[in-house]
């Protein structure tokens, strides 16, 4: 059955929780970045505590149990579509950072992740995964429906939309935008330290952030959660026919949303 979180008591309305809500890979990069902002660029926290404990996933048993125990403002991660989100959030002062990414890159990144994951039905081929993706036959439903649901929040002051692409192309401005949204002030050297420690390469080498701790248990031994960290990789995998099907679907589903929300090639 579907998970329900209607009585998610730890969400006290007076505390500024921060939800990192992502539809599309880039989740862990955003979590790492926000953690580094909170520690003012000091990498000790991100190097000593696993990423899923720093910002627990509300929809997992492990994450939910951790969040119940945590006092005060917390970082909370989620992939949930809006209709399954904790109802208490909508009455609270919690802030949401919602990260979107070119769905073509989401598709490719997701394919390699699910192919190495041990806890889901795995795609047998890229073609099979393409069918699943365009039909919305995915663990958290359709990418298109997820975006449409959450974009209804886009004009609220406690909701920030970011794109993976802008984060990649201009990381400094994006970090500054996150700081402003969260009311965090960083000194220039602290900001530089955030930018140094949130780079893809540094994250990939950090065992608390690269999911190597889960190899053998949830991921295959050769599974990589942090694979390339690039934009536009979809061009290496899509056939012309797939690209056409995808473009048509995107135009149908997203026609009534402002196109500036989708800052990719």
pLDDT digit string, tens, across residues 11-59: 433 334 777 655 445 788 898 899 999 999 999 999 889 888 898 988 8
Quickly tell me which residue has 């995808």 as its tokens: 246
> Residues 219-226: contacts with CB within 8 Å, 24+ apart?
219/116, 219/117, 219/118, 220/116, 220/118, 222/116, 223/113, 223/116, 223/117, 224/112, 224/116, 225/28, 225/113, 226/28, 226/200
* Domain limits, the chain: 17-261
The answer to whether 62 is a known catalytic residue is no
Lowest mean pLDDT among 4-8, 78-82, 217-221: 4-8
Set 6, 7, 62, 79: catalytic member: 79
CATH of 17-261, one of 3.65.10.10, 3.40.50.300, 3.40.250.10, 3.40.640.10: 3.40.50.300
Q: Which two three-digit tokens encode residue 3?
A: 């998970």
Is 0.85 topped by the overall pTM? Answer: no
Q: Quick one: pLDDT at residue 5?
A: 35
In a 13 Å sphere around the CA of 130, the CA atoms on its Cβ side amount to 15
């Amino acid at each position: 059955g579907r998970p329900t979180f209607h009585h998610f008591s730890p969400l006290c309305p007076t505390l500024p929780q921060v939800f990192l809500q992502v539809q599309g890979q880039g989740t862990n990069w955003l979590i790492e970045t926000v953690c580094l902002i909170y520690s003012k660029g000091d990498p000790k926290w991100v190097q000593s505590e696993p990423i899923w404990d720093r910002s627990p996933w509300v929809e997992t048993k492990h994450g939910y149990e951790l969040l119940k125990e945590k006092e005060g403002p917390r970082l909370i991660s989620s992939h949930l579509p809006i209709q399954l989100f904790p109802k208490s959030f909508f009455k609270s002062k919690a802030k949401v950072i919602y990260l979107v990414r070119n769905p073509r890159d989401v598709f490719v990144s997701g394919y390699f992740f699910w192919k190495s994951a041990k806890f889901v039905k795995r795609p047998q081929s890229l073609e099979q995964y393409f069918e699943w993706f365009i039909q919305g036959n995915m663990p958290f439903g359709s990418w298109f429906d997820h975006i449409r649901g959450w974009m209804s929040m886009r004009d609220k002051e406690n909701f920030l939309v970011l794109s993976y692409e802008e984060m990649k192309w201009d990381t400094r401005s994006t970090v500054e935008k996150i700081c402003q949204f969260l009311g965090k002030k960083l000194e220039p050297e602290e900001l530089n330290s955030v930018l140094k420690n949130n780079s893809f390469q540094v994250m990939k080498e950090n065992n608390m952030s690269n999911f190597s701790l889960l190899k053998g248990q949830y991921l295959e031994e050769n599974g990589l959660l942090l694979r390339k960290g690039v934009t536009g990789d979809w061009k290496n995998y899509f056939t012309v026919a797939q690209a056409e099907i995808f473009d048509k679907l995107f135009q149908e589903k997203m026609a009534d949303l402002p196109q500036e929300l989708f800052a990719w090639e």
